[in-house]
Amino acid sequence: MRRMEPAQPTNRLIADLPRACRQRLLAGGEDVELGFGNILCERGDRIRHVYFPVYGFVSELTPVDGHMHLEVALVGREGMLGASVVLGVDTAPLQALVQGAGRSLRISVAKFRRELNSTPALRRMTYRYVYVLMAQLSQAAACLSFHVLDARLARWLLMTHDRASSNELRVTHELLAQMLGVRRVGVTKAAGLLQERKLLRYSRGDITILDRVGLEAASCSCYRAGRDLYERVLSKGA
């Protein structure tokens, strides 16, 4: 592990903070590598660190019937993992699974809370982010209930594409089924429909985004609503 370079923060929440606050956070954290498939915490674990991804992304999953998991949130360089700490709760509400390997700033809860308590700008920024998360969780529940699978798959691929910084995604049918809460046969059919429209190419767990604009058109309205909400609330700055 090494210290994060203060001059080049690329996590958006940190980049949008005033310079002095940003430098204190970077100086008090560590630059760590998040490996694909790593579980950063299980639901009910005590949260010991908060993470601000720079590259890569983390799925937050809720258990279903004790043996399956459903993705309810995705955290990349636009956000932070461990947001419940902002509310004074250091118990993880969800499992955190690394889906895209990459770098992250990691800060101990003790250091983060000290900075949170002493810096109004950080409190304002993180409160807004928690609000966005709450709204997105509600939206995800509605999306799961009311939108067709191919539109939901397009939304998930767009959210992943935003955080992956690449048109090439590595994801299996099994993983997609888990993320979307459906059977593998449903994923196969939905991916086939998007492939027929030449929006993506899918082969043995490799997905290539061919038409980003077309994929946005195929997505349900939840993708745009979530993106617009983030911009509207977080663009106010600290």
pLDDT tens digits, residue range 139-165? 888 888 899 999 999 999 999 999 987
92-107 as b/e: b if 16+ CB within 10 A: bebbbbbbbebbbbbb
pLDDT at 25: 92
pLDDT at 3: 41
Coil, strand or helix at 1: coil
Domains of the chain in sequence order: 12-119 (2.60.120.10), 148-219 (1.10.10.10)
Task: State mean pLDDT over 98-107.
Answer: 94
197 pLDDT above the threshold of 80: yes
Provide the mean pLDDT of the chain.
Answer: 89
Q: What is the dihedral of CA 86, 105, 109, 64, to 10 degrees?
A: 70
Q: Name the percent of the chain lying above pLDDT 70.
A: 94
Sign of CA dihedral 147, 59, 51, 141: positive
pLDDT at 237: 53
Angle, alpha carbons 27-29-34 (nearest 5°): 140
pLDDT at 7: 42
Assign 172 a pLDDT band (cuts: 50, 70, 90).
Answer: confident
CB distance 115 to 21 below 8 Å = yes
30 pLDDT above the threshold of 90: yes
Assign 216 a pLDDT band (cuts: 50, 70, 90).
Answer: very high
15 pLDDT above the threshold of 90: yes
202 pLDDT above the threshold of 90: no
4 pLDDT above the threshold of 60: no
Task: State mean pLDDT over 169-184.
Answer: 82
Task: State mean pLDDT over 77-102.
Answer: 95
Assign 9 a pLDDT band (cuts: 50, 70, 90).
Answer: very low
